[in-house]
């Protein structure tokens, strides 16, 4: 009788040893209803990392929600050392930048215990305007007409030439501009929100907002900022400036408040949705243990529909450009006084359309004409390749094809509400198949490259990371053998 292993072998891949950062062979294994990345380094042995606690959703991401890769206009580096040591963007990468990050400063007016950029008041470096122009030019060279550019840091509003940076962005063909901010200046400075609102339309605030309690704020930001955040949102509502609330999630701190955050967001006239970001092990991560504190995307997804029953599992679908790390739900706001009422969109699409849509992004020829058109509309809608306003038009087109939903000819961006789950890869969870699809890219400070955020945090962000990269490249150049994996 043959021996039977206690798991299902799903696939083979290559991953990083979380200790030495060398590439090693890995397997994806399904065991006890969960999916693990099982890897073994020649020097540091075996490592097993939970990557999903929902096997059905994992398979949906891998087997259904696929689309042909969309490439950048221009590659920035050649393949020399092998993925992920040649960023970026090299010809081996499979996805253009749906979101392009422009990090303008390392300084921050907070020192959060968790910060993947390791920012803080003690860091004073800012990018010069010449650097920022070069970085913006690189974004445009790579993307042509960038869908979303997000100004970030550090805290970007502390840059002494912050509004000049916004003006530089407006001189370029950027479809949608976001400012990633903790909101302190919005809350504390009269006229600041009004000045930001003048950059509309196609402009949005990406506001750090982790919950409504003092304990959450203390744990994640090192201070009680609840009243400050509420004042910032009040001012954004007053000027009607489109806003996304962004919650960093840490197990044992605020994963039980996801529903409360979404419900609060839906009550704010200026808020267009919520982005949920489970912590990852990069930068400053004080007192955090990846095994203990990290949440998988599938767990966050489940907690959304458990805590906010307006959304169901059918409403929260993988985003095809990087389905491992992105999930999204769209809803439509009510009109007038009923603006807080949300009508989920995805549940109105028959399941067979969603299933066939996944196949039809690969092969359209065998499709029924109507089903093919529906498939393209669905995947246009649920793609981060859209700027948020572009998604409004895709939603309008989709609604017109759904007999169970009244067409909304006056549907504007203020009528759209979205919930996004965005998980980032780190040294524990990164594998080469997935990181090649990363669609959040960072402009390097010298303006010469766009680098996937996942690899930027591990190898390219600062001196410490770059030293690690050079050490690994020397190891690769020396022809270090890769291990054979067997549990």
Confidence grade of residue 385 (pLDDT, cut at 50, 70, 90): low
Q: 101-115, 145-159, 375-389, 433-447: which has the minimum mean pLDDT? A: 375-389
Is 487's pLDDT higher than 50? Answer: no
Is 122's pLDDT higher than 80? Answer: yes
Q: How many CB atoms lie within 10 A of CB 224?
A: 13
Decide which of 480 and 66 is more confident.
Answer: 66
Q: What are phi and psi of 271, to 5 degrees?
A: -85, 125
Q: Report yes or no: 28 and 36 within 8 Å, Cβ to Cβ.
A: yes
Is 453's pLDDT higher than 50? Answer: yes
Confidence grade of residue 351 (pLDDT, cut at 50, 70, 90): very low
Is 223's pLDDT higher than 70? Answer: yes
Is 246's pLDDT higher than 90? Answer: yes
The pLDDT value recorded for residue 340 is 86
Beta strands in 367-443 (DSSP E): 416-422, 440-443
Is 101's pLDDT higher than 90? Answer: yes
What residues form DSSP beta bridges with 149?
Answer: 100, 177
Q: Report yes or no: 334 and 340 within 8 Å, Cβ to Cβ.
A: yes
Write the burial class of residue 260 (CB in 10 Å: 0-12 exposed, 13-18 middle, 19+ buried): middle
Confidence grade of residue 281 (pLDDT, cut at 50, 70, 90): confident
Q: Report yes or no: 193 and 207 within 8 Å, Cβ to Cβ.
A: no
Please state the rounded mean pLDDT for residues 22-29: 95
CA distances from 344 to 303, 311, 350, 395 (A): 17, 7, 13, 12
The pLDDT value recorded for residue 238 is 96
Is 367's pLDDT higher than 70? Answer: no
* 336 DSSP 8-state letter: G
The pLDDT value recorded for residue 69 is 83
Mark out the alpha helices in 351-413 (DSSP H runs).
Answer: 351-360, 369-381, 388-400
Please state the rounded mean pLDDT for residues 31-43: 94
- Rounded to an integer, what distance in angstroms lies between the CA atom of residue 173 and that of residue 104? 19
What residues form DSSP beta bridges with 48?
Answer: 38
Q: Report yes or no: 423 and 296 within 8 Å, Cβ to Cβ.
A: yes
* 447 DSSP 8-state letter: S
User: Where are the domains positioned within the chain?
Assistant: 312-418
Nearest to 235 by CA among 293, 185, 275: 185
Decide which of 120 and 253 is more confident.
Answer: 253
Is 347's pLDDT higher than 80? Answer: no
- Percent of the chain at pLDDT above 90? 58
Q: What are phi and psi of 306, to 5 degrees?
A: -75, -40
Decide which of 423 and 406 is more confident.
Answer: 423
Q: Report yes or no: 485 and 25 within 8 Å, Cβ to Cβ.
A: yes
- Rounded to an integer, what distance in angstroms lies between the CA atom of residue 126 and that of residue 116? 17
The pLDDT value recorded for residue 378 is 62
Q: pLDDT tens digits, residue range 68-96?
A: 788 899 999 999 899 999 998 999 999 99
Is 483's pLDDT higher than 50? Answer: no
């Amino acid at each position: 009788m043959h021996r039977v292993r206690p798991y299902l072998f799903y696939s083979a891949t290559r991953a990083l040893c979380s200790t030495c950062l060398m590439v090693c062979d890995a397997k994806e294994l399904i065991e006890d209803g969960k999916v693990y990345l099982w890897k073994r380094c020649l020097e540091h042995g075996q490592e097993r990392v939970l990557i999903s606690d929902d096997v059905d959703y994992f398979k949906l991401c891998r087997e259904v929600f696929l689309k042909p890769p969309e490439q950048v206009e221009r590659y920035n580096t050649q393949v020399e050392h092998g993925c992920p040591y040649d960023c970026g963007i090299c010809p081996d990468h499979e996805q253009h930048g749906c979101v392009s990050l422009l990090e303008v400063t390392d300084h921050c007016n907070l020192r959060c215990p968790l910060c993947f950029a390791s920012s803080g008041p003690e860091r004073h470096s800012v990018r010069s305007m010449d650097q920022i122009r070069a970085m913006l030019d690189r974004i445009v060279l790579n993307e042509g007409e960038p869908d979303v550019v997000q100004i970030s840091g550090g805290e970007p509003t502390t840059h002494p030439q912050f509004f000049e940076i916004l003006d530089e962005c407006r001189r370029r063909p950027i479809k949608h501009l976001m400012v990633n901010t903790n909101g302190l200046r919005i809350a504390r400075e009269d006229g600041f929100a009004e000045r930001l609102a003048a950059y509309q339309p196609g402009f949005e605030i990406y506001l750090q907002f982790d919950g409504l309690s003092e304990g959450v704020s203390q744990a994640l930001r090192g201070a009680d900022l609840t009243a400050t955040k509420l004042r910032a949102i009040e001012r954004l509502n007053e000027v009607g400036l489109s806003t996304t609330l962004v919650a960093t999630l840490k197990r044992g701190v605020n994963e039980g408040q996801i529903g409360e955050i979404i419900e609060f967001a839906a009550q704010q006239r200026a808020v267009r949705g919520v982005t949920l970001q489970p912590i990852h092990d990069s930068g400053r991560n004080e007192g955090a243990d990846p095994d203990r504190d990290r949440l998988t995307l599938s767990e966050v997804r489940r907690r959304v529909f458990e805590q906010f029953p307006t959304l169901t599992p059918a409403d929260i679908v993988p985003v095809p450009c990087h389905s491992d790390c992105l999930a999204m739900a769209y809803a439509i706001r009510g009109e007038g006084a009923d603006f807080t009422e949300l009508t989920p969109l995805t549940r109105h699409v028959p399941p067979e359309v969603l299933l066939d849509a996944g196949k039809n992004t690969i092969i359209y020829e065998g499709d029924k004409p109507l089903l093919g058109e529906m498939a393209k509309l669905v995947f246009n809608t649920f793609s981060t390749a859209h700027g948020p306003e572009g998604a409004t038009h895709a939603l309008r087109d989709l609604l017109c094809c759904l007999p169970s939903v009244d067409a909304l000819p006056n549907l504007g961006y203020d009528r759209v509400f979205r919930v996004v789950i965005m998980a980032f890869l780190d040294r524990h969870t990164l594998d080469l198949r997935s990181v090649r699809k990363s669609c959040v890219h960072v402009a390097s400070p010298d303006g010469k490259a766009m680098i996937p955020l996942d690899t930027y945090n591990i190898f390219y962000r600062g001196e410490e990371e770059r030293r690690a990269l050079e050490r690994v490249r020397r190891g690769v150049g020396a022809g270090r053998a890769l291990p054979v994996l067997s549990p």
